[in-house]
Amino acid sequence: MNKKILIHSIVFAPDAVSTAYLYNDIAYNLKKNGFDVEVLSTTPHYNQVKENLDQTKFDKKAGGLYYISYYKGIKVYHIPQKKYNSVFLRGIGMIYWHIVSFILGLRIKNVDVIISPSPPLTIALVSIILAKLKKSKFIYNVQEIYPDFFVNQGKMKSNFVLNQLKKLEKFVYKHSDSLITIDQNFKNTLAPRMKNPEKIEIIANFVDTELYYPIEKPLVNKELFPDNEDLKVMYAGNIGFAQDWEPLIEIARRTKDSKVSYFIIGDGACRDWLKDEIEKYDLKNVHLIDYQSRESIPQIVNYADLHFIFMNKKLENDGLPSKVYTIMACKKPLLVISNKNTPLYDLLDNTNAAFLIENKGNDVSKDLFNIFDDILNDKSILKEMGNKGYEIVNKYYTKEKVTEKYFKHISKLIND
């Protein structure tokens, strides 16, 4: 009988968010390599795209207590979840999801390995209990470091809650059979918190190069993405606290009369603030656009000349935007604000695929303006940088190469 993997994740297809896309591909690769795979997740609630929802059939079970769909032959259990504005309601929803996912998890038989990505940290507690009861292995995949992320956001006001989360963090690290982190900086952060840091395995995130690749003449909605000679600068993804949006507003103000257009695509906690700032300064060179379907994103990524990621200084050590791989896979250069010894900076350092600006508390808009000035004088540098990034992605970060590492690591864990 084939070994069974249970993926326990708060997002999965058809949710349109990077962790969902990541685990869609991991699940499918494990299935192709001979594992039985099932997924325990939520109903789409994070970034809903109508095209994705229309292509997915949800079968209601137990009067709507949960739903079942199939992703490329993989059975997926969806527990209803909504994206509430109220913190209280979000908390109630998460408690409900944890309880119901635990009950459903108990019903899934013959599980050999459970793997859960962060966030949230509490998902690991449920997975560990299920793994103990089923006598299976548990892998915790640290995509973001908690509770650090909460603390650095400034949202953690209660010392009592913080201490409980730190205790939970230690418990999770102790009782996980393996921790997968996405880069050396994450490992360096986690290792001192563990009695057995040898359990940490570094496996980077990846890009689907069959979906993301260079397109010479991308097909885009001309009303949203006009065909002109402007330098097109883009960010596509979650408009949240992990990014610093003030440098964007400053450089947009300084280049209002230049042939530079900015495109921000997505949604998130900072979108309303960003919208207000655009209106406040009458920034007609900044285009704020809703999430687009995943199928259209490769065309949109190729439409831009340059992609920016401006990291929030307080959060730059706690995560690594996976969009960096999709950008490089399309032969597009990056414009990055992040300090040295952070995951994003270290990934791109010495690659010649990105403009890197350190954020040491100084006004970075001058550095940004100088970069744009150089580019407008000679755009050929962008092509050279894009080629460098493309070479790096195909050498190290393709879906095939990285998901194979997941397969080998899980196989080794089962055999051990």
**Contact indicator for 252, 284 with CB cutoff of 8 Å:** no
Query: Is the pLDDT reported for residue 227 higher than 90?
Result: yes
Residue 78: strand pairing partners: 41, 67
pLDDT at 264 (0 to 100): 97
On average, the pLDDT of the chain sits at 91
pLDDT at 373 (0 to 100): 93
* Mean pLDDT of the 18-47 span: 90
- Identify the CA nearest to 239 among candidates 323, 363, 155: 323
**Contact indicator for 139, 410 with CB cutoff of 8 Å:** yes
Query: Is the pLDDT reported for residue 49 higher than 70?
Result: no
Query: Is the pLDDT reported for residue 174 higher than 90?
Result: yes
Which of the residue ranges 73-87, 283-297, 385-399 has the most confident prediction, judged by mean pLDDT?
Answer: 385-399
Going along the chain from its start, the domains and CATH numbers come out as 4-206+398-415 (3.40.50.2000), 231-396 (3.40.50.2000)
Q: pLDDT above 70 covers what percent of the chain?
A: 96
Q: Is 290 left (phi over 0), alpha (psi -120 to 50) or beta?
A: beta
pLDDT at 58 (0 to 100): 87
* Mean pLDDT of the 17-37 span: 91
3-state secondary structure the chain: CCCEEEEECCCCCCCCCHHHHHHHHHHHHHHHCCCEEEEEEECCCCCCCHHHHHCCCCEEEHHHCEEEEEECCEEEEEECCCCCCCHHHHHHHHHHHHHHHHHHHHHCCCCCEEEEECCCCHHHHHHHHHHHHHCCEEEEEECCCCCHHHHHHCCCCCHHHHHHHHHHHHHHHHHCCEEEECCHHHHHHHHHHCCCHHHEEECCCCECCCCCCCCCCCCCCCCCCCCCCCEEEEEECCCCCCECCHHHHHHHHHCCCCCEEEEEECCCCCHHHHHHHHHHCCCCCEEEECCCCHHHHHHHHHHCCEEEEEECCCCCCCCCCCHHHHHHHCCCCEEEECCCCCHHHHHHCCCCCEEEECCCCCCCHHHHHHHHHHHHHCCHHHHHHHHHHHHHHHHHCEHHHHHHHHHHHHHHHHHC
CA distance 191 to 230: 47
pLDDT at 35 (0 to 100): 96
pLDDT at 317 (0 to 100): 85
Query: Is the pLDDT reported for residue 334 higher than 90?
Result: yes
Q: Return the structure tokens found at 3.
A: 């070994």
* Mean pLDDT of the 269-278 span: 95
pLDDT at 54 (0 to 100): 67
Sequence-distant (6+) residues with CB within 8 A of 218 are: 298, 299, 300, 302, 303
Buried b (16+ CB within 10 A) or exposed e, 392-415: bbeeebbbeebbebbbebbbebee
pLDDT at 156 (0 to 100): 67
**Contact indicator for 336, 347 with CB cutoff of 8 Å:** no
CA distance 289 to 177: 42
pLDDT at 88 (0 to 100): 81
pLDDT at 84 (0 to 100): 74
Least confidently predicted of 113-127, 196-210, 313-327, 332-346: 313-327
* Mean pLDDT of the 386-397 span: 96
* Mean pLDDT of the 97-105 span: 95
Q: pLDDT above 90 covers what percent of the chain?
A: 75
pLDDT in tens, 134-167: 999 999 999 888 877 777 766 667 788 788 888 9
pLDDT at 86 (0 to 100): 77
pLDDT bracket for residue 53 (50, 70, 90): low
- Identify the CA nearest to 349 among candidates 201, 183, 236, 202: 183
Q: Return the structure tokens found at 75.
A: 């059975």
Q: Return the structure tokens found at 219.
A: 């097909």
Which of the residue ranges 47-51, 89-93, 392-396 has the most confident prediction, judged by mean pLDDT?
Answer: 392-396
